[in-house]
Amino acid sequence: MQKNKTKTIILLAGAALLAGGGWWYFSKKKNGGEELPYTSTAAFMKETAEYVETTGGVEPLNRVEIQPASGGRIEEILVEEGDRVALGETLALMSSADRVAILDSARAMGDEQFKYWQETYKPIKIISPIEGTVILKNIVEGQTVGASTVLFAISDRLIVAVGVDESDIGRVKEGQRAEITLDAYPDNTVKGTVFQILDEGKNQSSVITYTVKIRPDKVPSFFKSQMTANIKIRVTEPKPSLFIPSRAVTLDAAGNTSVITALDKGKPVHKRVVTGLDDGELVQIRRGLEEGEAVFYKGRPYRPQTASGGNNPLMPQRGKMSNQQRRAMRGR
């Protein structure tokens, strides 16, 4: 399993409708008399939900290794890896050491004696102790095994286990919804639910992480144990927030964070704002603007992107960094 890393992200749901977009021109000349264009757009509302993003791997919820009660020889294997087996189902037939000795001697005495002892001295049945899927077959027919040999491994259900940084673990709760994407199948997203958070943390490179287990709503056929998984756990419910293009945020003459709300005789009129999360394309406005209020900025008009599933990720570049992110920055 790969080393776990976590970070908080914001996903935007729904389509952005930008009103009042157009081209304005700043009257001051520059570089040979070319006018500098301004674009106007309106502050708009979008639903946002916060996620904790991390990595982990696919693993069995319960993994049972099957070993023989004593040494012997594998006579017949009745299942293969990937087979679904029932509780009490016979997985293989094995001869004990005594049966092996008797059958080998009887074989030298002729077919009649060999068949007699085959029927008289029955092989040992290797039984499945749970209902599940065979994820490991560690033997071949004719192989001599000892009491410590792992013959099979069975998983009752595949889940996803991830490591969450201690700075984020307080936001993760049982019952929260999650999105699972495997490195091997990046175009297939599987929904799931957090069902267990382990109490004991692990120290990985001076970063404390806690194991969080996620149960997929439905385990796809392409899920395999030990596959690397990328997880987004939704830690807040969607709520409306005000956004403008990131390039519309600037500084006024006093160095305060502001936006341009008008052009007075070609000169920008600034208004102070308080910003939130910013992904480099859109920035959240916490205070200072109202929905529909116009802002001006230099450059092309903002065009909302159509992301997979209608989601547009916003990274918290201006938000609080996690302890792990700070350590990563110091280590560069």
| pLDDT computed for residue 7 by the predictor | 55
Quick check: 313 and 278 in contact, CB under 8 A? no
pLDDT band at 39 (very low <50, low <70, confident <90, very high): confident
For the chain, state the CA radius of gyration. 32
pLDDT of 195 over the 70 cut:
yes
For 289-304, write each residue's pLDDT tens digit: 999 999 999 876 656 5
d(C-alpha 60, C-alpha 79), whole Å? 19
What are the φ/ψ torsions at residue 310 (nearest 5 degrees)? 80, 15
User: Which pLDDT score, from 0 to 100, does residue 322 have?
Assistant: 47
Domains and CATH numbers, the chain: 6-50+238-330 (2.40.420.20), 54-61+157-234 (2.40.30.170), 63-155 (2.40.50.100)
- C-alpha triplet 280, 282, 285: angle, nearest 5°: 120
- Rounded distance between C-alpha atoms, residue 184 and residue 188, angstroms: 9
Residues 272/249, Cβ–Cβ less than 8 Å? no
Cβ atoms 57, 228 nearer than 8 A: yes
Prediction pTM value: 0.60
Give the mean pLDDT of 153-179.
94
Q: Which residues contact 207 (CB under 8 A, 6 or more apart)?
A: 165, 166, 323, 324, 327
CB atoms closer than 10 angstroms to residue 84: 11
How much of the chain, in percent, has pLDDT values that exceed 70? 79
Six-digit token string for 122: 């029955």
* Side chain identity at residue 43, one-letter code: A
Residue at token pair 């970063």: 207
Q: Share the mean pLDDT of the chain.
A: 83
- CA 220 – CA 185 distance, rounded (Å): 11
131: confidence class by pLDDT, cuts 50, 70, 90: very high
Residue 24's pLDDT band (boundaries 50, 70, 90)?
very low
Q: How far apart are CA 69 and CA 97, in angstroms?
A: 12
Residues 6+ apart with CB under 8 A from 229: 55, 56, 57, 58, 160, 162, 180, 181, 182, 183
For 97-128, the pLDDT digits (tens) are: 999 999 999 998 989 999 999 999 999 999 99
The predicted structure's pLDDT at residue 139? 96
3-class SS string, the chain = CCCCCEEEEEEEECCCCCCCCEEEEEEEEECCCEEEEEEEEECEEEEEEEEEEEEEEEEECCEEEECCCCCEEEEEECCCCCCEECCCCEEEEEEEHHHHHHHHHHHHHCHHHHHHHHHHCCCEEEECCCCEEEEEECCCCCCEECCCCCCEEEECCEEEEEEEEHHHHCCCCCCCEEEEEECCEEEEEEEEEEEEEEEEEEEECCEEEEEEEEEECCCCCCCCCCCEEEEEEECCCCEEEEEEEHHHEEECCCCCEEEEEEEECCEEEEEECEEEEECCCEEEEEECCCCCCEEEEECCCCCCCCCHHHEEEECECCCCCCHHHHHHHHCC
Quick one: what percent of the chain has pLDDT higher than 90? Answer: 64
Residue-wise pLDDT tens digits, 246-300? 999 999 999 999 999 999 888 899 999 999 888 788 999 999 999 999 999 987 6
